Amino acid sequence: MTTLAGYGLRLHGFGFKTLGLEKVGHLLASADSLAWSTHARHRPPMAGHTHKNCANCLPYALNWRTRVLARMPAWQQPALDAA
């Protein structure tokens, strides 16, 4: 990742794990993962949500994103915009 980023490439972390983001997230232009959806699928829905689980739920995904970004070292936090 360091070598590729060194060439100025805008890298995308496809299916990246949170531990990987903590280590090399600062080298990525973007990343995605279905980990949040899998996590939600095996848990009851968030308070006030009426669906079976939050596997396809924007508030759950945004909470996941907030937790992931909070775990990253401050000097590594990328400027990932929520779409």
55 scored as a contact of Zn ion (CB under 5 A): no
Separation of alpha carbons 25 and 5, rounded Å: 11
Among 49, 63, 65, 78, binds Zn ion (CB under 5 A): 49
Nearer to Zn ion, 53 or 76 (CB): 53
- Measured over the CA atoms of residue 36, residue 38, residue 51 and residue 46, the dihedral's sign is negative
Number of residues that bind Zn ion (CB under 5 A): 5
39 scored as a contact of Zn ion (CB under 5 A): no
54 scored as a contact of Zn ion (CB under 5 A): yes
31 scored as a contact of Zn ion (CB under 5 A): no
Alpha helix positions (H), 1-83? 2-6, 18-24, 35-41, 58-71
